[in-house]
Amino acid sequence: MKQFKINGGNKLSGTIKVSGAKNSAVALIPASLLSDEVVAIDNIPNISDVDVLSDTIKYLGGDVKRNKELIQLSLSNLKNKPISEEFSSKLRASYYFMGALLGKYKKVDIYFPGGCSIGARPINLHLKGFEALGAKITNDGNRYLLEADELIGTHIYLDVASVGATINIMLAATRAKGETIIENAAKEPEIVNVATFLNNMGANITGAGTSEIRIKGVDYLGSCFSEVIPDRIEAGTYVISGALVGDNLKIENVIPEHIESLLFKLKEMDCDLKVYDDYIVISKTDNMKPADIKTLVFPGFPTDLQQPLTTLLTYCNGESTVEETIYENRFMNIEYLNSMGANIEKVDDKHITIKGPTKLVGCKVKATDLRAGACLVLAGLAAEGETIITDIEHVLRGYENITQKLSDVGAKIELEEI
């Protein structure tokens, strides 16, 4: 078990470099197995989810070499094998082996994915897409067997613009016969990253980043070199840390367009921030205005930054509101923020109101999920005294070298083994 010990109140100054995006990297690694050659991906974050996925590629017969941020995957000796529940349940992104293995081998034996417990998180749209492409699905408890004689391109409408379903259908359709059109596709930057990667390997995908994606199936995918985009959620988290305790804190390797919804909110709140081409400089601001947040699919305000931003809202002058529209269970951080001195009321499963400003004081809290953990790290940095955050394995799944990155800019944060 690991925990963070944070002594709050220190000003953060200097530079934090944002790593490659977790939610891109965890799709690109399974996607690579559609190739029969060697693929290299740069800017891979050093997080535990990447380790788990790399081990699965090895289990399937691939050769994986990592050198700092570069990963090289040799995929010529792959074999299709069942993927155990022990692996599938370790992370959400294990579901990308469904689309990739179905596309390549027309057969997958796998279990329901894991990931943070932030809602029911069904995979019905993924399965609906695979069925529309011609797969027969047998389901026994958590186990899924997907089989097809062949996959045939088709027209699919997603009831919800799901990130995972869009990518998964794209993976399978890349090796289908003919053209697949995904309507109401998710538009997140990670989708564009995956489509670019597949195209670099020889796929024929257009429209990624819009709500209509067209995939013309191809027979063979070869080698390529690609790069993971900067992590917009990690960037946003550190930008918020700057608004809380920054002193000209510079966040670099950022694509500001990817976090525009956050930057506009921070400006609305009167935060002291300057936005440049690929970096942002931000300082603590007194007398911030409150804000109303509603989480939406991209380019709306991301659900993954809702919990981190709530910490900042506790310091604003007046009443803020948050409406969570993506997940049913993403307010588990509230109990802990309140125990640190916040005044947050959970109106119902989708709404909270935050009355500020309140002063946070360190105590022992628990990271119930990845972004709840990020919210509490931010709270610990701003709070008076010592904050202990338990269950931080969740946080380490998504934030590369978080202790080092924060310590380097002046935070007092330690990772303790207990």
Residues that bind ligand EPU (CB under 6 A): 23, 26, 92-93, 116, 119-126, 160, 162-165, 186, 188, 303-304, 326-327, 370-371, 398
Smallest separation, CB 51 to ligand EPU (Å):
15
Smallest separation, CB 325 to ligand EPU (Å):
8
Smallest separation, CB 298 to ligand EPU (Å):
7
Distance CA 235, CA 396 (A): 15
Contact (Cβ atoms closer than 8 angstroms) between residue 193 and residue 163: no
> In three state form, how does the secondary structure of 345-400 look?
EEEECCEEEEEECCCCECCEEECCCHHHHHHHHHHHHHCECEEEEECCHHHHCCCC
The torsion angles phi and psi of 273, rounded to 5 degrees, stand at: -135, 145
The torsion angles phi and psi of 214, rounded to 5 degrees, stand at: -115, 130
Q: Where are the beta strands (DSSP E) in 68-175?
A: 70-74, 107-111, 136-140, 143-147, 155-157
Distance CA 316, CA 323 (A): 17
Smallest separation, CB 123 to ligand EPU (Å):
5
Closest to ligand EPU by CB, 26 vs 201, is 26
Contact (Cβ atoms closer than 8 angstroms) between residue 20 and residue 228: yes
> In three state form, how does the secondary structure of 168-204 look?
HHHHHHHCCECEEEEECCCCCHHHHHHHHHHHHHCCE
Closest to ligand EPU by CB, 23 vs 320, is 23
Alpha helices in 202-259 (DSSP H): 232-245
Closest to ligand EPU by CB, 304 vs 400, is 304
CA distances from 404 to 71, 277, 382 (A): 22, 25, 18
Q: Does the active-site annotation cover 363?
A: no
* Partners of residue 4 on adjacent β-strands: 389, 415
Closest to ligand EPU by CB, 288 vs 297, is 297
Length of the chain: 418
Distance CA 228, CA 45 (A): 9
Report which residue's Cβ sits closest to ligand EPU: 164
> In three state form, how does the secondary structure of 314-352 look?
CCCCEEEEEECCCCCCCCCCHHHHHHCCCCEEEEECCEE
Contact (Cβ atoms closer than 8 angstroms) between residue 56 and residue 86: no
Smallest separation, CB 160 to ligand EPU (Å):
4
Closest to ligand EPU by CB, 141 vs 418, is 141
CA 214 to chain centre: 24
Closest to ligand EPU by CB, 50 vs 409, is 50
Smallest separation, CB 212 to ligand EPU (Å):
17
Closest to ligand EPU by CB, 315 vs 327, is 327
Smallest separation, CB 317 to ligand EPU (Å):
29
- Which residue type occupies 11? K
Closest to ligand EPU by CB, 92 vs 175, is 92
Smallest separation, CB 63 to ligand EPU (Å):
25
Catalytic site residue from 116, 224, 271, 316 = 116
Tokens of 371: 């972004």
* Residue with token string 């009321």: 345
- Which residue type occupies 247? D
Active site residues: 116
